[in-house]
Structure 1
Amino acid sequence: METKLSTGIFVGIVISLIATMSSILTLAATGWQMFAFILFAIVCFAMPVALMTMELSTTLQGRGGPQLWVKTAFRPKWGFTSSWLLWVQMFPSMVMIASTLCPLFGVMIGQDQLGDNHWFTLAFIIVFYWLITLLNLKFDMAKIGGAIGIWLGVYLPMGLMFILGLASFLKRGLDPHSMLGAFSLHGTIPSLTDAKSLQYVSAVAFIFTGISTTGVYAPRLKKVTHDFPLGLLLALTVVVLLNLVNAFLIANVIPAGSDQLDNIAEPVIRYCQVLGWPSWLAQVFSLLAFLGVALPTVDLGDRAVADDGRGG
């Protein structure tokens, strides 16, 4: 029998599922427009999905999450279909996630060039697939990720990034030659005719994907009607703040013209250069960020299928 989750652990699980380091880079690339983009994503995507997830999770208090909701509304075969689709989409998703882990792993061991080696990336993806499969068979990765992984993989690396970024900001101030650039009210509003600005609409909204999948954890909460809405709202608030604050500090240190960033460790390396601090801090950050990307993925894919089978 699965042990019940406290509200704090549930908040950690939700944050670990939603908060990703790569989303901070995407938001940073929008410059001063990040505030408009994040507001649009919250109003038009995050909150509607969150409210729907709260309502369905607290009303249909059974195993399965989205699978249970669809099954109740459209018969069991469509519930199975939704669960199967959620599971199948994890295959390309985990390939993408594993490939983004390679640069972090390279920085972590002091071999930055490994992130550009295609053969190493292929081997890394295969090992990553098997590792998460074996871990799911052996351990309750939801509880481990929510209680321990969230500290190692999200709070600590993002906290370290924030401290370094704030120290760099206090030392240099607002850099008009950075990706953020000089402030202007006009510059905070995305242009409806600028394709370069609009390309970030879906990318920023993507920050909040995974909200509906948190419904699979509803049966494991002690008091679903109270803990689930509270935990989900707290988690979303933390995710927004973590993304916005760190994206702002990163955009102020990356030179203008660097529209796309591939490695989340790059801002930390630049912070260390600005502050004159030791470069091994970037290696520590890469290790923690590596865990932050890997641990949520370990649980999510098999959770949907497992709950489908037990949900009947």
Structure 2
Amino acid sequence: MENNNKPKSAVVASLSTIAMAIMIITTIISLRGLPSQAEFGLTSIFYYVFAAIFFLIPFALVCAELASTWTKSGGLFRWVSEAFGPKWGLAAMYLEWQTVVIWFPSVLMFASVALAYTFWPVSFDAWLAGNKIFTVCILLGVYWFSTFNTFRGIKSANKISTLGGLFGTIIPAAILILLGIIYLAMGKEIFLPLDKPFFPDLTNFNTLVLAAGIFLFYGGMEMQAVHVNQMGNPAKQFPKAVFIAVVAILAIFILATLTIGIVIPEKDINLLQTLLIAYNDLWATVGLPWLGNVMALFITFGVIGQVSVIIAGPSTGLLAVGKAGFLPTALQKTNKNGIQTPILYIQAAFVTVLTLVLVVLPSVQSAYQILSQMATITYLIMVLIIYGAFIWLRHTQPNKARGFKIPGGKPFAGIVTIIGFAGALLALVLSFIPPSQITTGSPAVYVGILILGTLIFVAVPFIIYAKKKASWKDAKTDFEPFDWQIEGRQPSQISKQK
């Protein structure tokens, strides 16, 4: 007898192990956060490995099982709704969207700094990079341009993203590491503090805050896990793909971070400008200082490409929430290219308002830090919800056919969940502590902004759910019902299907 619970997309086998590994690598790798870890010298190696073990690997396995089992539209909104109902599904989807909205200003601040370093001389670059007016103009200009470009359709955004990923991230990363090797071979002065231990001082929480941000470095796995059913044998191929990707990601992050630490003294590290300064110094070492400006232009293009494709990402998930009847009908509309323009306008408005943080904080660097930490906090809350959904679905739907299942049986799945949940919870707590490495103004104001922002962002989806109306549900919606609706039970009840 045919098993009707088998995921529909399990028959598709077009994705190889290497292809999946490359997809994971290109989703996660970004150069903008490297200076924050260069602060730690050799200790950064520990943080990268720790975050991979306690976040990247467990979350990848959990998301792969969820995505390969609940394959209908909705992504993480469906996963969480199957476990706890649409109220929590809406909360999880909203938090992912909110994370990206907060992330946009911080990553575009980096783009504005990179663009500043395309000019001459270096002293002017440094001044321009720290100028708030220049930063705000570039940030909003690039973002609104990318938004209007997205209105033309996903293909238009993907063209910029593909080229940006290659020329703005992959090639610059390889060049940075290669230049670092040449720098060492030439016997130049090494600024990396070799006296720092591999293991950090775990008693000093203030020094661990920037390290907690590594968890967001590894974010985005829930986006690629949805493709696991396109593999011929997910149970064997996906763990291999994760292993290959983790090794490559660790190698790139560690070697690139150490290269920056070798070239730039610890006291001179700046979260936004250091990467560009490192390129300038490295190219000057080989007698080609002008290539530092060219590299800055490439990195700017890379950030624009990254932003271009992500603008439509989580907002598409919010559209699915709307189609399920949990957002006003005005937010369910799309243009002729199938793009959810009303949601993108609201998203752009959020980004514009958050940009004003630059005005009240003491520096561009402190604004960058607080927005990065806020994005980390909202993302980690979403991650904890997904872990909870995974645990509960294992309990309520044990007989559901899974395209991919965490290997090792229940004991290993339990270990993976505990490790991942504990790691995310620890990073979440640390994210509220003001970092000792940079100036963020008054610690009380810094923490207050984070707490207030978190309370507001977490409350919003529950307020929306409480205000939902029956008229929001389109009778002709193409959003497929949840399993518990089909079975006539509550999400909290155990499924009786075999």
Give the TM interval when normalised to the shorter protein.
Answer: 0.7 to 0.9
> For the structure 1 residues 308 and 200, does the alpha-carbon distance in structure 2 shift closer, same or farther, using more than 3 Å as the test?
closer
Report the Cα distance in structure 2 between the residues aligned to 1:82 and 1:195, rounded to whole angstroms: 28
Q: Kindly indicate whether structure 1 or structure 2 has the higher relative contact order, using CA contacts under 8 Å at least 6 residues apart.
A: 1
Letter in 1 for 2:149: L
Does structure 2 conserve the Cα–Cα contact (< 8 Å) formed by 1:12 and 1:145? no
Report the Cα distance in structure 2 between the residues aligned to 1:64 and 1:170, rounded to whole angstroms: 52
Residue among 272, 286, 289 paired with 2:283 = 272
Match of 2:42, SS state, is helix
1:116 maps to: 130
> For the structure 1 residues 141 and 50, does the alpha-carbon distance in structure 2 shift closer, same or farther, using more than 3 Å as the test?
farther
Q: Indicate yes or no: 2:184 matched with 1:172.
A: no
Instruction: Normalising by structure 2, report the TM-score.
Output: 0.55
Q: Indicate yes or no: 2:240 matched with 1:225.
A: no
Letter in 2 for 1:121: T
Larger Rg: 2
Q: Encode CA deviations 1:147-170: one digit per residue, 9 max, x unaligned.
A: 533211221111111121111111
Q: Encode CA deviations 1:202-230: one digit per residue, 9 max, x unaligned.
A: 123332122223345557x4658377655
Matches within 5 A, 1:276-295: 276-295=286-305
Q: Indicate yes or no: 2:34 matched with 1:19.
A: no
Report the Cα distance in structure 2 between the residues aligned to 1:159 and 1:284, rounded to whole angstroms: 15
> For the structure 1 residues 256 and 201, does the alpha-carbon distance in structure 2 shift closer, same or farther, using more than 3 Å as the test?
closer
Q: Encode CA deviations 1:167-205: one digit per residue, 9 max, x unaligned.
A: 111112672xx1x22357xx2221122345423431233
1:140 maps to: 155
Match of 1:140, SS state, is helix
The CA deviation at 1:109 is: 3.9
2:424 maps to: none
Matches within 5 A, 1:293-308: 293-308=303-318
Match of 2:139, SS state, is helix
> For the structure 1 residues 142 and 43, does the alpha-carbon distance in structure 2 shift closer, same or farther, using more than 3 Å as the test?
farther
Letter in 1 for 2:277: E
Report the Cα distance in structure 2 between the residues aligned to 1:53 and 1:44, rounded to whole angstroms: 14
Match of 1:252, SS state, is helix
Does structure 2 conserve the Cα–Cα contact (< 8 Å) formed by 1:12 and 1:150? no
> For the structure 1 residues 246 and 59, does the alpha-carbon distance in structure 2 shift closer, same or farther, using more than 3 Å as the test?
same
Taking every aligned residue pair, what percent have the same amino acid on both sides? 20
Residue among 21, 28, 34 paired with 2:38 = 28
> For the structure 1 residues 83 and 285, does the alpha-carbon distance in structure 2 shift closer, same or farther, using more than 3 Å as the test?
same
Report the Cα distance in structure 2 between the residues aligned to 1:89 and 1:196, rounded to whole angstroms: 23
Structure 1 unaligned runs (5+)? Answer: none
Does structure 2 conserve the Cα–Cα contact (< 8 Å) formed by 1:63 and 1:216? no
> For the structure 1 residues 310 and 200, does the alpha-carbon distance in structure 2 shift closer, same or farther, using more than 3 Å as the test?
closer
**77-86 vs 4-13, greater mean Cα deviation:** 4-13
Of Structure 1 and Structure 2, the greater helix share is in 1
Report the Cα distance in structure 2 between the residues aligned to 1:148 and 1:296, rounded to whole angstroms: 10
The CA deviation at 1:233 is: 4.3
The CA deviation at 1:306 is: 1.5
2:175 maps to: 160
Matches within 5 A, 1:1-312: 11-110=21-120, 112=125, 113-138=127-152, 139-140=154-155, 143-144=158-159, 147-172=162-187, 175=190, 178=191, 180-183=192-195, 187-195=197-205, 197-216=207-226, 221=230, 225=234, 231-263=241-273, 264-273=275-284, 275-310=285-320, 312=479
The CA deviation at 1:61 is: 2.1
Report the Cα distance in structure 2 between the residues aligned to 1:250 and 1:41, rounded to whole angstroms: 20
> For the structure 1 residues 301 and 73, does the alpha-carbon distance in structure 2 shift closer, same or farther, using more than 3 Å as the test?
farther
Report the Cα distance in structure 1 between the residues aligned to 2:168 and 2:211, rounded to whole angstroms: 26
Structure 2 unaligned runs (5+)? Answer: 1-12, 322-478, 480-498
Report the Cα distance in structure 2 between the residues aligned to 1:216 and 1:240, rounded to whole angstroms: 23
The CA deviation at 1:251 is: 0.9
Q: Encode CA deviations 1:129-150: one digit per residue, 9 max, x unaligned.
A: 2122123222336754675332
Q: Encode CA deviations 1:226-272: one digit per residue, 9 max, x unaligned.
A: 77655554433322111101111221111242354422211111112
Give the ranges of 4+ consecutive aligned residues of structure 1 lying more than 4 Å apart after TM superposition: 4-13, 216-219, 221-224, 226-233
- Paired positions, count: 302
The CA deviation at 1:85 is: 2.4
The CA deviation at 1:53 is: 1.4
Letter in 2 for 1:269: N
Letter in 1 for 2:218: F
The CA deviation at 1:104 is: 0.3
Does structure 1 conserve the Cα–Cα contact (< 8 Å) formed by 2:150 and 2:311? no
> For the structure 1 residues 197 and 80, does the alpha-carbon distance in structure 2 shift closer, same or farther, using more than 3 Å as the test?
closer
Does structure 2 conserve the Cα–Cα contact (< 8 Å) formed by 1:58 and 1:218? yes
> For the structure 1 residues 37 and 172, does the alpha-carbon distance in structure 2 shift closer, same or farther, using more than 3 Å as the test?
same
Does structure 2 conserve the Cα–Cα contact (< 8 Å) formed by 1:216 and 1:303? no
Does structure 2 conserve the Cα–Cα contact (< 8 Å) formed by 1:28 and 1:248? yes
> For the structure 1 residues 140 and 76, does the alpha-carbon distance in structure 2 shift closer, same or farther, using more than 3 Å as the test?
farther
Does structure 2 conserve the Cα–Cα contact (< 8 Å) formed by 1:65 and 1:217? no
**302-311 vs 67-76, greater mean Cα deviation:** 302-311
